Amino acid sequence: MELLVVITIVSFALIPLLFLGQQSTRGASSTGKHLLAAHLAAGLLERFLALPYEEARAMAAREFTVREFLPAQGTNLFYDPSLRQALAGKAATFLPDLKRTLGPFTFRLDIWENTDQDILKLTVKIEWPVESGGQATTLRHTYVLEGLKHREAP
């Protein structure tokens, strides 16, 4: 009888520890996705800030729609021609991992222009689905990063 009581008490003590491990894994996964979103947003913003003013303005105007990083019809992620050339023929080795990692992420670039002061305000918005118990929901996480682009002095 005493053994049965001990087993019961120990089992009740161990059950919360098992759930704690599962919650830790879920939390680490969520943190990883937030960090990935931050890096993706920073990369996109840096890409536009590195361009000359007029080129950034024209390119940002084309990016207003929500886009996937890896659409089904091609690899939208590798805009840089030199990067695309360097990775030519090697995509088959890492593209499945990229699709698994970046598949749920979408981005949107919004632009606001102050024509009086020649300033562009660029807003990068990264979204990905909220997971609940391993299942994606209709709710979405959002990460927003903003930057200012000034016209270069002549």
Written as one string, the DSSP assignment of the chain is -HHHHHHHHHHHHHHHHHHHHHHHHHHHHHHHHHHHHHHHHHHHHHHHHTS-HHHHHHHHHHT-S-EESS-TTS--S---HHHHHHTTTTHHHHHHHHHHHHTT-EEEEEEEEETTTTEEEEEEEEEEEEEETTEEEEEEEEEEEEEEEEPPP-
Q: Which of 118, 137, 119 is nearest to 128 (CA)?
A: 137
**Cβ count near 135 (within 10 Å):** 8
Residue with tokens 């209709």: 138
83 residue type, one letter: L
In this prediction, residue 74 carries a pLDDT of: 46
Cβ atoms of 64 and 108 closer than 8 Å: yes
pLDDT confidence of residue 68 = 60
- What's this model's pTM, rounded to 2 decimal places? 0.66
Residues of the chain with pLDDT under 70: 60-92, 94-95, 132-136, 154
